[in-house]
């Protein structure tokens, strides 16, 4: 501020009442030195640029604002079913059915053989009778059974028939032995016919084959007694004969080497699903199932695997595997994308995945092995191992038993509070109301957000001065997507930046898709309604005043008669406080008062404005300045330049009456201070004339 001088002459000259010795005239002069012309307008808080954290509403009330974006994150894409442990299960072929070997008839045992040729000479001769005699043991090999080589029987029947085409009665009794011709298969059974078998007659006996091992190479042996012609006349026919027929049927075998017809058996298994999620219905976005099949069968087999709980277009997953004797293992990966998973019968929560395998063997006569015979056992088996991938869903309806967490994308944004008055500093103010408003959208199922809000303030060198954290947990839903978080603790440190991070949690009953997402904004609109706490808020400015030569000399010559500080204070501001006018010859005195001396020219309380019922200012407060300064201790104006600081100190509001200490600042608020020093001088013309002549 440029200095100027105002000189006011007091016309105090007069003629004496009677002649005296001549004296040089003397009079009083008055100089005015401007000291303060300072106006603090609170509108200065509002920056023009878009980075400002302050703005004034239509009523002029200041607000601290903040807004940041919560980047979109999908919750559906992260929902997954962890894979169970691989499940291995097997099934043996069990009972084996083979085709009935059929019947084989022994070569003829002639009458001539039975009688050892004793009646050869009587061929065609009628005899009165043939007496009883003992049958010698005669063995006959049966033709080989062509459809099997050996078989250990679980169920089956051997039917033995003796046909008597001779002229004599067989019995009583007749014994037939059936036995294996192979030494490695010691099968032997004796069948006794107690009733006589008449000429042209036959008898049959059944043998239960369970537990026996049969050979396809067998013989029969006939022995016993004969009643001869039983006293009846007969015509001798030495070529008449006996045959023994062996028929095997109804075979179910435990093992066999045979021509193995088509066999059919089933197997099943189940994998327990992840207990963290109970799936009622879900559409699979990614994942698969691996089925590893191995055959210990000696024949080719086709295996159909079905998983009823996995469906596509309404049909259960079904896959056919071709297991061959030269390729007994097959591993297949099935991509389950676009499959659905759920309980196909009841629609209830699915706790396990069931597998059904249908095994059909191929007739050994037509399979890939040229040998029509195969050695098979009921212990031969098929083994399956099923491995399930992690399944991720494009849609899930069910119950999430164990919470699933998703990371909220971290976001950090600066907040410009540098233009607040000095004194509005951490721990010096308390906001009446400051909330973060979190607005979300997109969520179609309840989601719990655990938010961590961090405010940080740094010094000019970028060193962290203070950090405050605020953690808030709240559940959002389609019905209540927005919520408030108290922000006073964060804002009170006047942070340079605010960072938001945290986790989102889903638990309980859900019905969501992979497009289910959460995004939103975090906003703050804190009206500048606050308490000034333990310290003070200060505003002001320093001006430079040039002191004219005449004034300096007047102080040097002790020609100063008086000094008055006059002016006016106009206060349109809700805060109480005082106005100081400080002066110093040292320009650094105000920044480092401990190192330099300052003079307090004025200390005056702010005149209080008049308030309306709503707390707004209806009339500013006016206060005159009129202070007499002590000239004997005032040497400041001996300096050519004087630095003057006009300082407004706004006091703590916590003890203010009837307002609970809360105040609000508006852009229309201001503090205006105008002051000047009026200096009265004694002008001595004789001294001035002498100085000029010198």
What is the spatial distance between Cα 399 and Cα 276, in angstroms, rounded to a whole number? 9
Is the predicted pLDDT of residue 576 greater than 60, yes or no? yes
Please tell me if the domain spanning 62-77+398-527 has the same topology as the one spanning 87-94+260-389.
yes
- CB 32, CB 564: distance < 8 Å: no
Handedness of CA 278, 279, 285, 286 (dihedral sign): positive
The average confidence (pLDDT) of the chain is 83
Q: Is residue 170 within 8 Å of residue 224, measured between CB atoms?
A: yes
**Per-residue confidence (pLDDT) for residue 661, from 0 to 100:** 57
- 534: pLDDT confidence band, cut at 50, 70 and 90? very low
pLDDT of the residue at 48: 43
Q: Calculate mean pLDDT across residues 670-676.
A: 89
Nearby residues of 518 by Cβ (< 8 Å), 6 or more positions away: 70, 72, 73, 75, 440, 441, 442, 443, 447, 449, 476, 504
DSSP state of 488: H
The DSSP secondary-structure symbol of 112 reads: H
Tokens representing residue 634 in the block: 């005032």
Query: What is the rounded distance in angstroms from the CA atom of residue 547 to the CA atom of residue 139?
Result: 157
**Mind listing the pLDDT tens digit for each residue in 226-272?**
999 999 999 999 999 999 999 999 999 999 999 999 999 999 999 88
Chain-centre distance for alpha carbon 408: 10
How far is residue 506's CA from residue 76's CA, in Å, rounded to a whole number?
10
What is the end-to-end Cα distance of the chain in Å, rounded? 35
Structure tokens at 546: 């040039």
Give the domain ranges of the chain: 31-42+534-680, 62-77+398-527, 87-94+260-389, 99-258
573 token code pair: 């501001």
pLDDT for residue 369: 87
Q: Is the CATH code 2.60.120 the one for domain 62-77+398-527?
A: yes
Report the share of the chain in percent with pLDDT over 90: 39
Q: What is the mean pLDDT of residues 507-517?
A: 82
How is residue 687 written in tokens? 């001294």
Query: Domain 87-94+260-389 is of which CATH architecture?
Result: Sandwich (2.60)
* pLDDT tens by residue, 89-114: 899 998 899 998 999 999 999 999 99
Query: What share of the chain has pLDDT > 70, as a percent?
Result: 84
- What is the mean pLDDT of the segment spanning 319-329? 92
Banded pLDDT at 334 (limits 50, 70, 90): very high
> What average pLDDT score do residues 674-683 get?
83
| pLDDT of amino acid 658 | 35
pLDDT at position 589: 79
Q: 């992260």: which residue's tokens?
A: 78
pLDDT for 119-177, tens place per residue? 999 999 999 999 999 999 999 999 999 999 999 999 999 999 999 999 999 988 999 99
Q: How far apart are CA 69 and CA 49, in angstroms?
A: 20
Q: Are strands 391-414 and 381-388 parallel, antiparallel or unpaired?
A: unpaired
Better-scored residue on pLDDT, 318 or 55: 318
Please report where in the chains the tokens 């500048």 appear, as a residue: 528
DSSP letters, 242-269, are EEEEEEEEEEEEEEEEE-----EEEEEE
Could you count the other beta carbons within 10 Å of the beta carbon of residue 99? Answer: 15
List Cα–Cα distances, 271 to 92, 250, 268, 388, 396, in angstroms.
20, 39, 11, 9, 20
CATH class of 31-42+534-680: mainly beta
Q: What is d(CA 492, CA 490) in angstroms, rounded to the nearest whole number?
A: 6
CA distance 142 to 160: 12
Instruction: With a cut of 70, say whether residue 538 has pLDDT above it.
Output: no
User: Given this model, what pLDDT does residue 349 score?
Assistant: 86
pLDDT of residue 417: 62
């Amino acid at each position: 501020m440029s200095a100027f001088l105002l000189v006011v002459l007091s016309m105090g000259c007069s003629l004496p009442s009677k002649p005296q010795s001549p004296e040089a005239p003397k009079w009083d002069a008055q100089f005015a030195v401007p000291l303060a012309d300072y106006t603090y307008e609170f509108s200065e808080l509002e920056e023009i640029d878009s980075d400002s954290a302050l703005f004034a509403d239509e009523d002029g009330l200041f607000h601290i604002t903040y807004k940041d974006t919560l980047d979109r994150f999908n919750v559906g894409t992260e929902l997954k079913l962890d894979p169970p442990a691989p499940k291995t299960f097997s099934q043996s072929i069990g009972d084996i059915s083979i085709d009935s070997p059929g019947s084989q008839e022994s070569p003829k045992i002639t009458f001539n053989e039975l009688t050892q040729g004793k009646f050869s000479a009587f061929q065609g001769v009628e005899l009165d009778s043939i007496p009883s005699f003992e049958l010698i043991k005669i063995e006959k090999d049966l033709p080989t059974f062509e459809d099997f080589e050996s078989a250990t029987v679980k169920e089956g029947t051997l039917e033995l028939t003796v046909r008597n085409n001779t002229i004599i009665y067989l019995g009583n009794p007749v014994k037939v032995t059936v036995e294996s011709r192979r030494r490695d298969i010691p099968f032997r059974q004796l069948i006794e016919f107690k009733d006589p078998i008449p000429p042209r007659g036959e008898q049959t006996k059944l043998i239960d084959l369970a537990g026996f091992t049969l050979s396809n190479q067998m013989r029969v042996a006939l022995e016993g007694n004969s009643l001869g012609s039983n006293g009846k006349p007969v015509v001798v026919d030495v070529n008449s004969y006996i045959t023994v027929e062996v028929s095997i049927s109804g075979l179910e075998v435990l093992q066999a080497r045979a021509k193995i017809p088509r066999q059919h058996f089933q197997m099943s298994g189940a994998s327990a699903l992840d207990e963290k999620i109970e799936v009622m219905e879900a559409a699979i976005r990614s994942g698969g199932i691996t089925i590893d099949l191995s055959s210990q069968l000696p024949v080719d087999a086709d295996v159909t695997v079905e998983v009823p709980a996995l469906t596509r277009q309404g049909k259960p997953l079904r896959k056919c595997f071709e297991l061959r004797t030269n390729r007994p293992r097959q591993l297949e990966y099935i991509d389950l994308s676009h499959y659905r998973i759920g309980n196909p019968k009841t629609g209830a929560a699915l706790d396990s995945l069931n597998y059904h395998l249908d095994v059909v063997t191929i007739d050994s006569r037509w399979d890939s092995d040229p040998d029509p015979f195969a050695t098979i056992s009921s212990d031969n088996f098929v083994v399956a191992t099923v491995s399930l991938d992690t399944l991720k869903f494009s849609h899930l309806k069910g119950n999430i038993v164990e919470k699933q967490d998703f990371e909220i994308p971290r976001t950090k944004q600066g907040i410009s509070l540098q233009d607040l008055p000095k004194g509005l500093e951490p721990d010096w103010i308390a906001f009446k109301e400051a909330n973060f408003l979190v607005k979300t959208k997109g969520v179609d199922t309840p989601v719990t957000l655990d938010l961590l809000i961090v405010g940080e303030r740094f010094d000019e060198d970028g060193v962290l001065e203070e950090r405050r954290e605020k953690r808030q947990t709240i559940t959002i839903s389609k019905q209540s997507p927005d919520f408030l978080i108290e922000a006073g603790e964060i804002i009170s440190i006047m942070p340079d930046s605010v960072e938001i991070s945290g986790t989102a949690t889903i638990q309980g009953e859900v019905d969501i898709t992979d497009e289910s997402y959460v995004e939103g904004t975090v906003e703050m609109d804190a009206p500048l309604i606050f308490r000034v706490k333990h310290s003070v808020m200060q505003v002001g400015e320093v001006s430079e005043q040039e002191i004219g030569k005449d004034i300096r000399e007047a102080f040097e010559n002790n020609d100063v008669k008086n000094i008055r500080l006059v002016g006016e204070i106009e206060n349109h501001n809700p805060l109480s406080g005082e106005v100081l006018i400080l002066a110093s010859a040292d320009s650094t005195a105000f920044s480092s008062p401990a190192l330099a001396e300052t003079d307090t020219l004025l200390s005056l309380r702010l005149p209080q404005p008049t308030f309306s019922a709503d707390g707004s200012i209806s009339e500013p407060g006016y206060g005159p300045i009129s202070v007499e300064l002590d000239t004997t201790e005032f040497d400041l104006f001996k300096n050519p330049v004087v630095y003057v600081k006009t300082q407004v100190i706004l006091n703590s509001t916590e003890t203010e009456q009837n307002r609970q200490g809360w105040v609000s600042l508006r852009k229309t608020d201001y503090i205006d201070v105008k002051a000047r020093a009026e200096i009265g001088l004694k002008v001595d013309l004789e001294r001035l004339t002498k100085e000029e002549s010198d």
